[in-house]
Amino acid sequence: MVPRKGIQPVTFDTTDTISSSSFNVFQKLCFCKTRLGEIIAVNGVERGFRWDGVSDTVDILGIDAPAAGPTIATAVTQTGGSDNNITAIAAASGTGTYKLTLSNASHGLSNGDVILVGNVVGTGALPAALNGKKFTLENVSGANVELVDTTHSGTYTSGGTWTVDGEGATKSDKDMDGGYSLAYRYKDGSSTPVYSSLSPATVVSANTNDKFSWSDIAYTSNARVTTIELFRTTAAVTNVFYKVGEIANNASGSTTTFADDKLGDEALLDKTGDDVTLIHAKPPQDLTLIGRRQVPPPTDMAYVVMFQDRYFYFGVVNYSSGTVTTTNGSKTITGDGTSWTSDMVDRYIEVDGQKTSVKITDVDNSSQIKVETAPTVSASSKTYVIYPEKSRRRQILYSYIDEPESVPETNSITLQENAGDDDDIVGAMPYGPFLYILGQRHKYALSYSRNPALDGSVRFLDDRGAFNQYCWDYFENEAFLMDDSGCYLFDGKESKTISAPIQDIFRREGSGDKIDYTKSRNFFVKVDRPQEKVYFFVSYKGDTGDYPTRSLVYNIRRQTWDPMHYPLQVSGASSIEKDGESRMILGGENEKVLLLDEGNTDIITSEATGTVTGATGTTLTDSGASFTSAMVGTSVYITDGTGKGQRRTITAQSSTQLTVAAWDTNPDTTSTYTVGAIEWNWRTTSFGMSATGDREDRQVEIKFNPTSSAKSMDLRFYYNNDTSPMTHETSFGFGDAVEIKDTNKEDVVIHMEQDRSGAVGSSTGIERYPFDGLYTHHSTNDHQVAIELRGTAGAQAPEIQRVDVQGVDPPQGGTG
């Protein structure tokens, strides 16, 4: 048995602050890496962000579509600054072809050019022969042009327009055949561009040779948008849009115009790639969104994972930070200690003492909201909860392939309740061909081939789930998870409990260490692959802070457990490469990043020891010490004297004084301490004591590796399932290495130093302590015993090689 190794601050060559933007800390951000190496993050409280992996700023997640369509006017196309009108049509002398007289003599046309003619009014065959048709020109002279291969017929009355080939609209009436639809969208400047959805379309009629003049094109304040793209359909088409132009975005501007949209339908039909977009894939059979698919991800979902190149968003947040004040009849609710966001509009608030939940209609600021229905009670300092519409609890939204920022509400899956318990969706685990959807107490398997909406299926698996999205990890084709029933292994087919040896910790009744389920939303699981261990990070009842300071460590090969305790709160874990090997790091409080299993001390590189010269309820003073700021965040442990066994995390320091959380018993000048050392303990189950009526020869024999520096451990006895150790009647010495001192008589102190000062001989590494006694069926004496070893690891880590409890019966269960 060896104590855990230390946790040490990670030193990076360089560090950069990626963004100065602050995000709501009520729910921690869930990060997901995309196939392009970008990072997206959501928290279900406000809109998430996207980081490109290079720049020092982040972008808000998704690009909002323009709220309204453009304003469109149509007019005759102009060439050279003048309208392209026809003022007369006659038969050409000698050839009998159509000769047109143009109003714009500076038309720039030449023999061989092609024009489109339209809007001619006349009699006979003339209108039908000319309108909507293209002609090659000859005998161009001044304002007159002649049309090749035509024969004049009929009489010209009025009207007529022309445009050069490739320009000008085709006649289309919005009330008769659908007209033209025009819309625009935003585009960012990334190497793989991200777009907004198309704006609502503006539908207009047009005459042949008309051009389109755009106005009321709204700039966006979204700084990531660099370009506005303008799209138009061909005549009488509603589903296919073609890009006709683009404008640079002005994030501080209001609106702009575009006056030179005169491309003809045939020119539009030649466009390809991103210059063409559909509204729906293949209507009416397939109404999959295309041109309006780029809806930003939901702001009310706390988690995101990638599976088969799509991104799945899920998990609601019940926001309850601070308290609220309501006034009878007023639709305004004020908060104290709240950090409300604009994304909470359309969510619901329940206030303690109010009979119904009400919809939020506006967020004035972080501490004031307006609701749809006024409260009926005036009250202050009330608890409350804000949550999305309740159907979101069991809903998952998913993106388009490789488009994490395109998540329309139509891409939705809702879990059907078929287990008699509609627990919330709290996690999703990509694992092989399935996305396993995790409820708090259940598990489902989602699979699909191309599109979840078209060929996807969801089936119920079993009644094991997870506390949250962070309570699972993989190792060698198996997943390890944690829920309110304990820790378990999942192999893709069935769930198998692995926490039976420590199950008492998960039971709500009984004594001893117990899981604090009120903090379970911050629990997490992480596999240390090189060490072949799984860390289940939890909080016990009585632990301070909202985040774990403990982990239940499962050795995968040995199938054994080691509970571990850390001096500070940790909120997450990850892996990095250090010196060519994978190492596990922890995210700790006060912005610390810590390397796991590094050295024999916590936070500082070597332990500091000394004797207390003074103390108050929250301080420890050693007038001869030189405490440093590096000690903040690590532990101080009272190793002997008054207050022995207390461990406190250091929150502040001066050169001779440490500030800590309140002591249970104030140390005094009899107390010794160590800073940075790692507290450890080990306790057996209960052993039976035979009811023979004879005095039994009982003893504990401990074999250990002697230390080169001063180090000791305590042996303690717990009789008859008592939660407190037995206190010995008198102090006593058992040779050079074992003693019971005048103070702290519950501890049998075993000195481990090989050459202990003042001792007659060197430690051999084997020490014994007898605890004789008798027990009969008719007596009320002690009938079972558990033993505990405890101490600290610092300059040297104690190595306990064997513990032999002699003269007792096999274990009878107990605290474990």
d(CA 433, CA 454): 17
In a domain, 623, yes or no: yes
C-alpha angle 97-100-104 in degrees, rounded to nearest 5: 155
Q: Per residue, what are the HEC states of 484-516?
A: CCEEEEECCCCEEECCHHHHHHHCCCCCCCCEC
Find residue 778's DSSP bridge partners.
none
Segment among 32-36, 107-111, 414-418, 446-450 with least mean pLDDT: 414-418
Tracing tokens 């559909």 back to the chain, one arrives at 278
* Mean pLDDT across 366-372: 98
d(CA 383, CA 516): 21
Contacts of 228 (CB under 8 A, 6+ apart): 184, 185, 186, 187, 217, 219, 246, 247, 248, 249, 256
pLDDT at 754 exceeding the cut of 90? no
pLDDT at 11 exceeding the cut of 90? no
pLDDT in tens, 148-190: 999 999 999 999 999 998 889 999 999 999 999 999 999 999 9
In a domain, 695, yes or no: yes
d(CA 639, CA 699): 25
Find residue 740's DSSP bridge partners.
732
- Residue 15: Cβ within 10 Å count: 7
d(CA 620, CA 632): 13
Residue type, position 646, single letter = Q
- Mark whether 626 and 706 lie in a shared domain: no
Q: Report whether 617 contacts 662 (CB < 8 A).
A: yes
pLDDT at 283 exceeding the cut of 90? no
Domain span including residue 686: 681-806
Which of 364, 387, 410 terminates a domain? The answer is 387
In a domain, 767, yes or no: yes
- Mark whether 796 and 705 lie in a shared domain: yes
In a domain, 628, yes or no: yes
- Mark whether 669 and 715 lie in a shared domain: no
- Mark whether 771 and 710 lie in a shared domain: yes
- Mark whether 669 and 759 lie in a shared domain: no
Joined together, the tokens standing for residue 3 give 């104590």
Joined together, the tokens standing for residue 124 give 């006979």
- Mark whether 690 and 783 lie in a shared domain: yes
- Residue 587: Cβ within 10 Å count: 16
- Mark whether 793 and 689 lie in a shared domain: yes
- Mark whether 685 and 786 lie in a shared domain: yes
Q: Which of 233, 277, 230, 234 is nearest to 258 (CA)?
A: 230
Give me the pLDDT at residue 794, please: 86
Q: Report whether 116 contacts 140 (CB < 8 A).
A: no
d(CA 688, CA 532): 35
pLDDT at 130 exceeding the cut of 90? yes
Joined together, the tokens standing for residue 702 give 């401990």
Percent pLDDT > 90 in the chain is 78
pTM comes to: 0.86
- Mark whether 801 and 709 lie in a shared domain: yes
Q: Which has more pLDDT, 287 or 388?
A: 388
Which of 353, 387, 421 terminates a domain? The answer is 387
pLDDT at 104 exceeding the cut of 90? no
What sign results for the dihedral spanned by CA atoms 461, 466, 469, 471? Answer: negative
- Mark whether 705 and 774 lie in a shared domain: yes
d(CA 233, CA 236): 8
Q: Which helix (DSSP H) or strand (DSSP E) does residue 129 occupy?
A: helix 126-130
* Mean pLDDT across 190-214: 95
pLDDT in tens, 712-722: 999 999 998 88
In a domain, 126, yes or no: no
Which of 387, 407, 429 terminates a domain? The answer is 387
* Mean pLDDT across 257-266: 92
Task: Please state, in angstroms and as integers, the Cα–Cα distance from residue 221 to each residue in 49, 65, 67, 168, 295, following that order.
Answer: 16, 12, 13, 33, 17
pLDDT in tens, 473-496: 999 999 999 999 999 999 999 999
- Burial (CB count <10 Å: 0-12, 13-18, 19+), residue 686: buried
Number of domains present in the structure of the chain: 3
In a domain, 106, yes or no: no
d(CA 373, CA 375): 7
- Mark whether 776 and 763 lie in a shared domain: yes
d(CA 574, CA 470): 11
Give me the pLDDT at residue 20, please: 64
In a domain, 487, yes or no: no
Which of the four pLDDT bands, split at 50, 70 and 90, describes residue 779? very low
Average pLDDT, the chain: 92
d(CA 570, CA 225): 37
What stretches of 210-336 show up as alpha helix (H) in DSSP? Answer: 265-269
- Mark whether 774 and 701 lie in a shared domain: yes
pLDDT in tens, 336-356: 999 999 999 999 999 999 989
Which of the four pLDDT bands, split at 50, 70 and 90, describes residue 453? confident
d(CA 320, CA 738): 54
pLDDT in tens, 236-257: 999 999 999 999 999 999 999 9
pLDDT at 778 exceeding the cut of 80? no
In a domain, 639, yes or no: yes
